[in-house]
Amino acid sequence: MFLAVAGGLTRTAGNRVTLALGLVGGLAYALASATIAFTDRFDPLFPIGSLIGVWAVAVGVVAMIRK
């Protein structure tokens, strides 16, 4: 999550569009992981956490296009 924010703001790992994907995916996964032992309310957030993978692919495509 921090890599997505830092990389998106400085444009070293993606841009502001990919920043949103990494941030939302990271927050969803963190919230679901932190509360799994106490409640099942946030379990549906795990699939949203897959946006981290989408972020990684998007950053890779952006990096390939730049070169």
Q: In sequence order, which ranges of 11-50 are alpha helices (DSSP H)?
A: 16-35, 45-48
pLDDT(35) > 80? yes
- The pLDDT assigned to 66 comes to 80
- How many Å apart are CA 8 and CA 19, to the nearest integer? 5
- How many Å apart are CA 40 and CA 35, to the nearest integer? 8
Confirm whether pTM is higher than 0.85. Answer: no
- DSSP 8-state symbol, 1: -
Q: What is the pLDDT of residues 1-25, one digit of tens each?
A: 777 888 778 877 778 878 888 888 8
CB neighbours of 31 closer than 8 A, spacing ≥ 6? 42, 45
Query: How distant, in Å, are the alpha carbons of 28, 45, 63 from that of 14?
Result: 20, 24, 7
